[in-house]
Each structure stands twice: as C-alpha cells, then as structure tokens.
Structure 1
Amino acid sequence: MTEVPTDPTPAPEAIRAVPVRHPGRWVSAAIVMVVAAQLGHWLFTNEALGLGTAWSYVFDHTIVHGVIVTLELTAIAMVMGIVLGVVLAIMRLSKNPIVAAAAWVYIWFFRGTPVLVQLLFWFNLPSVVTAISVGIPFGPSWLPQDPKALITAFAAACLGLGLNEGAYMAEIARAGILSVDEGQDEAACALGMSRLQTMRRIILPQAMRVIIPPTGNETISMLKTTSLAVVIGVLELLGTAQAIYARTYEVIPLLLTASIWYLFMTSVLSVGQYYLERRFARGSLRNLPPTPRQRLQSMWAQRSLAR
C-alpha cells in the first residue's frame, strides 16, 4: 500500500479586502451639513422673513388664481412653441432655399431679441394696427376685427412667449431630426413613403429621444419666464403676489409664497420629464434607469444584506 504524498506548503490565506478611505468626502459632507444647518436655522428662526405669513398665503384664492394663469400661459406657449418649432425645423432642412432661408430669418430674429421686448411689442401693437382681417394678399379682405379686442394682455403674453419659444424649439427639433441616421430616410424612400409619412412615422419617433430632455428643460424655463408677463398687466403668480404686497407691504413673505409655488410646479414638471425620458428610452437602452421607488427598494435590500 503506497502512501499519498502530502504537500508541505500551507494553503494561502484568504485575501482580506480593506476599503479605501476617503477623508475628503467626510470633510466636504460635514461642511455642507454645517452650512445647511446654519441656513435652515436662520430661515426658521428669523421672524423678519415672515415664513408663517408666507405659508398662510399659499392657498389664498388670489394666489391660486395666479398659479392657474401661470400654468395656462406655460401650456399655451409650449404648445405653440413645439408645433411651430417642428414646422420650422422641417423648413430649415428643406432643399428649397427660400423656405430654408425664411425659417433661418425667423429663428435669427426671435432668438436675437429679448423676450421682454417681444412682450411689449405685441402688447403695444394695437396702437399702430388699425384693423385685422382675413383676405387675399394685396386684394379684398373680409371679417375685419378690432386689434384692441383681439390682442389683449393675455393674448399678447401668449404670442410673445409662444413665438419666441418656437425659435428655440426649432433648433432642438432640428438637432433631433439630424440625430437619426440618413439610412432610415433612404430606406423609407425606397419603400415608396412620402416625405411627410417618413417624417411622421420614421424620423420623429426616433428623434424624440433627443428632443424630449431639452424640451423638458424649456418647459421648466417657460414656467418661470411667464413671470415677465407682469410688465404688460397679466396677473399671473408673480403679478398676484405683487398686487397683494402692494396693499399689505409684506414684500418678502409674498415673494416667498411665490417661490414656494414655483418650486412645487418645477418639481412636478421635473418628475414628469424623468418618466417621459424613461418611456422614450425603451428600445435604445438595455437597462432602463431605475425609478425613485426602485432606487429606494435597492438601497433597502442592500442595507438588509449588510445586516
């Protein structure tokens, strides 16, 4: 009976992983927490700010009406901007030089002048226009209307914001269309699809992945830009806040009230933008980004495993 030789060398020890220390992270986190604590203490203990007064005005009927007007302006301006932007983007990409030049001039003009100037222009336009009618160019016209009755302060705000937004959305839509491979267009033409069908069924659905993120940012920006409409007499959120503190002299509390509403509305829009981007990302990403609920569940599962 032969003996099996044993290996005299001992087995290697298990590798013990030592986590890398990051003292800079702890120091920076401590600094941020101290600054945040000081800011919160100043905010909640400074009676001069009138935080309690600000909260008491949050659901005031005048403020709520201003919020509704702000949302109406945002929705109308963004619908105008998106529709006009897509049309201008297609015109910019047209092989007709006159059509492409007209779209370029529009974008150049409305991006080159301030929104406030455009609002004032549309608001004061009835003073130089005698009548608005429908008819044949350089020929007879019908249905004359009084410009002062048509272009009210609210209509002027919609025109100024919507036409200006159309110039920016045109560049966003053009970038999205150009992001789609040219082979998609050539394949659609080979199948006998018209230019309109190709754009509606092939190009634009794929371009939405590029168009959605900046469009969400433009919507949030538009929500805040509507505050400029106060200069032409539109009582949106900021306008109603100014009307109240002009009577009560509570300037800072009413500005805080408006800020609370703006933060709430932009937060809701940000959440909607996230889920919209996630929806249009299907088909292009192997794994979709997790939702906030999924992130919390993952963090809770990791903590349970660590215990």
Structure 2
Amino acid sequence: MIEVTHLTKRYGAATAVDDLSFTVRPGTVTGFLGPNGAGKSTTIRAVVGLERPTSGSATVGGQRYADLPAPLQEVGTMLDGRNAHPGRTALGHLMGLARTHGIGRARVEQVIGLAGLESVARHRVRTFSLGMGQRLGVAAALLGDPATLILDEPVNGLDPDGVRWIRHLLRALAAEGRTVFLSSHLMSELTETAGRVIVIGQGRLLADEDLQTLVAATAGAGVVRVRGVDPGPLARALEDRGATVVMSQAGVLEVTGADAGAVGALAADLGVTLLELSTVSGTLEDAYLVLTADAVQYRTTAPARTEETR
C-alpha cells in the first residue's frame, strides 16, 4: 500500500505539492491525474525517494523507500522508459539491474518475454524506438516481481498492440492483489484500465474516488436524450413533473431529473412516437476538466481566425 500523508514539497518560494494525502490500495489499478505542473511527478519522486519532502511523508508498505531492504523486489518503478544506457543491450541492462538484488538470469529472460522483447534482447538500446524503450522500462519495473508498481506514462509511444498489452498486464497484476499506481494523461486508456482515480491540481487533492462514481458525480451522467415526432407535449409534461428539459433546434430533448424509463413511459402515455431514447453517460475526460477547471497552470486559447487572402 502506498500512503502519502500531508506531503508538502517546496522549491524556494514555489510549492509543488501542498499538504497532499491519499492512499493507493492493492487489488485495483489506481490512476493518477492532474494538469501539467500539478505536482504528479514530484509526488511520485517523493514516494520512491528521489525527492525529500519539506514536510509530511510518503511510504510504501509502511516504510520509506530508502529504508526498504530490497527495493527492486518490493516496488517496481518506471519514471522514464528511456533511462537505460544507449550502449547496452536490453539483456545487459536488465542483467545489471538483476545482479544488484541477486536475481537470476531466468527471471531476466522471463520479463524479456513478458515485454515482447525476445527478438531485440541483444540489440543496443540506442536502436530502440520509443515504444521499445517503454517496453524495456516496464520489464525493468517487473524484474523483482514486486508487490507494488509505480508507472509514469507507460503507454507513451506504444502501438495499439502495445497499449492493449500494458492494459491487460496491469489489470492482471492488480487482480493478483498487487498495488498498481499509474500516472497518465490518456483519459481513454485510464478509463479502460483504472478502477480508482486520484486527481490533483496545484499540488492539492481534488478527487480520490472510484472511477465510475467520480464520472457520475462530476461529468453530467444521467442526461436522457430524446428524439421524437412532435416532442413538445412530452417536454412540457416532463417540466410539469420537475424535470429540466433543453430542446435543440433539431428537436432533440436533453432531460435531467428523470431517468430513461420514466421518460419512455410518459411518452407512451402521451402517445408521442419516440425515434431515440438514450442515457448520455459522462466520461473521465469530462469529469477531469470539471475538477481541474481552476487548477490549470498552462492555459491555451484557440487561434484567432484570419481573413483568407487571395
């Protein structure tokens, strides 16, 4: 279990992490989200002993990372998939790491196979694509068969097959009862992989929830979309019953305050023919944008349109 307790990290007058507390529990993939500059990397680096907290603590299994007797076998980390020496082979890089913890060659070859790197195991790392480097980084994180995994943007540069591989791998590891902490900006991938989500902004905790609960609470889930023949009477009847109805120019109703079953039953009572009746679910991206609306450090604007010159 990863525990971050009242963690604060300052760099001079700048506060990167501000009294942050959360727990990452085993048995599920926990996603870690936040805008650029939110303090995610600083938090992760504090957990693995690369940053010393100004105050508070970050522990794994109740211990500071620096106090773990065999860290590679307890916490697998990938903060940068391209951290291997470019002149080494993938096999040589992993064998060097293995020797620091008395891990045998059989395990090295096992993780090479798990990462799909058998055909390039003896190739120099300098020849690797970004995706191959990511696979090597994941292999290194798995080398000690750790109970806890901390991965920062592991799918960057992976092709669709690689993305699917990492998704199934992380789910399987969590199902074994391991703690999996995954930082990523890819909302669609986190939706497919994570069961819980922690969101921070400006170094502070914004949300720590089950993914589906978070989406339902903040992303406008539960809006019923209705398209029908002459939907006006239905709209008025719904409003009389306390629902909120917004009608588009195309005659499509967006209803809140009534579920799809109630809307369909009312339409039947009124004799309104429905062409579409569906519940519009929110997304993790919607929820994230709502939560971080006031915590974005770098904000972009759409370019101004210019007159076409001839």
TM-score category (smaller protein): under 0.3
Question: What TM-score results when the alignment is normalised by the length of structure 2?
Answer: 0.23
Which has more radius of gyration?
A: 1
Question: What TM-score results when the alignment is normalised by the length of structure 1?
Answer: 0.23
Q: 1 or 2, which has the higher helix percentage?
A: 1
Relative CO higher for 1 or 2, CA cutoff 8 Å, sep ≥ 6? Answer: 1
